[in-house]
Amino acid sequence: MSNESLSQNEIDLLFSGGAPAAQEARSPSRGIPEVQLYDFRRPARISKERKRSLTAMYGLLAKSLEGWITTRVRDQVELELQSVEQLTFGEFMLALPSPCASYIIDVGTSGQQGVIDFGHEFAYFLVDRLLGGTGRHGVPDRPLSLMEKKFVEVVAERATYHLMEVWADYVQMDLQITSFESIPEMLQAANREDPVLVANIEAHTGDSSSLFLVCLPFVTVEKFFTGASKRRTQNLLGTPEERAHDRDQLEESVRDARITVGARFPAFHATLGTLASLAPGGVLETGLSPNARLDLFVAGQRRFQGTPGRMGNSLAVRVTDHVDPEPEDLIEAGRENDH
164 inside domain: yes
pLDDT digits (tens, 9 = 90+) for 305-329: 888 888 888 888 888 888 876 655 5
pLDDT digits (tens, 9 = 90+) for 118-177: 988 999 999 988 888 776 777 888 999 999 999 999 999 999 999 999 998 888 889 999
9 inside domain: no
Q: What pLDDT is stored for residue 41 in this prediction?
A: 56
**Same domain for 237 and 300:** no
**Same domain for 262 and 240:** no
189 inside domain: yes
| Rounded average pLDDT over 230-237 | 46
317 inside domain: yes
Count: domains in the chain? 2
38 inside domain: no
Of the pLDDT bands very low, low, confident and very high (cuts 50, 70, 90), residue 233 is very low
- In whole angstroms, how far apart are CA 9 and each of 1, 25, 79, 165? 21, 20, 66, 75
Q: What radius of gyration, in Å, describes the C-alpha atoms of the chain?
A: 30
Q: What pLDDT is stored for residue 228 in this prediction?
A: 39
Q: What pLDDT is stored for residue 338 in this prediction?
A: 47
**Same domain for 209 and 161:** yes
**Same domain for 194 and 73:** yes
Reference 86, options 173, 208, 183, 194; nearest CA is 194
Cα 183 to Cα 188: distance, rounded to the nearest angstrom: 11
Cα 173 to Cα 110: distance, rounded to the nearest angstrom: 10
Residue type, 309: G
**Same domain for 250 and 300:** no
Choose the final residue of a domain: 210, 232, 256: 256
Reference 212, options 62, 112, 99; nearest CA is 62
Q: What pLDDT is stored for residue 61 in this prediction?
A: 94
Q: What pLDDT is stored for residue 102 in this prediction?
A: 95
- In whole angstroms, how far apart are CA 126 and each of 73, 122, 187? 7, 6, 23
| Rounded average pLDDT over 219-247 | 65
CB 159 within 8 A of CB 173: no
CATH of the domain at 165: 3.40.1550.10
Alpha helices in 168-256 (DSSP H): 222-226, 240-256
Cα 220 to Cα 108: distance, rounded to the nearest angstrom: 9
Cα 157 to Cα 100: distance, rounded to the nearest angstrom: 17
- In whole angstroms, how far apart are CA 166 and each of 55, 58, 205, 217? 11, 7, 24, 16
Q: What pLDDT is stored for residue 18 in this prediction?
A: 52
160 inside domain: yes
For the chain, how long is the longest CA-to-CA vector?
114
**Same domain for 251 and 262:** no
**Same domain for 251 and 302:** no
**Same domain for 305 and 239:** no
How many of the other CB atoms lie within 10 Å of CB of 270? Answer: 12
1 inside domain: no
Cα 124 to Cα 97: distance, rounded to the nearest angstrom: 13
pLDDT digits (tens, 9 = 90+) for 254-299: 777 778 888 888 888 888 888 888 889 888 888 888 778 888 888 7
**Same domain for 208 and 295:** no
**Same domain for 168 and 92:** yes
| Rounded average pLDDT over 209-217 | 93
Q: What pLDDT is stored for residue 208 in this prediction?
A: 81
Count of alpha carbons within 13 Å of 109, Cβ hemisphere only?
0
Cα 201 to Cα 215: distance, rounded to the nearest angstrom: 11
**Same domain for 243 and 302:** no
Choose the final residue of a domain: 232, 256, 280: 256
Strands (DSSP E) contained in the chain are 77-88, 102-107, 113-117, 175-181, 195-205, 208-217, 261-264, 294-298, 301-311, 314-322
Give me the domain span that covers residue 98: 48-256
Q: Please tell me whether the overall predicted TM-score, pTM, comes out greater than 0.75 for this model.
A: no
pLDDT digits (tens, 9 = 90+) for 64-115: 999 999 988 888 889 999 999 999 999 999 999 889 999 999 987 678 899 9
23 inside domain: no
Cα 159 to Cα 220: distance, rounded to the nearest angstrom: 18
Cα 110 to Cα 193: distance, rounded to the nearest angstrom: 18
Count of alpha carbons within 13 Å of 70, Cβ hemisphere only?
14
Residue 20, preceding bond cis, omega within 30 degrees?
no
**Same domain for 142 and 240:** yes
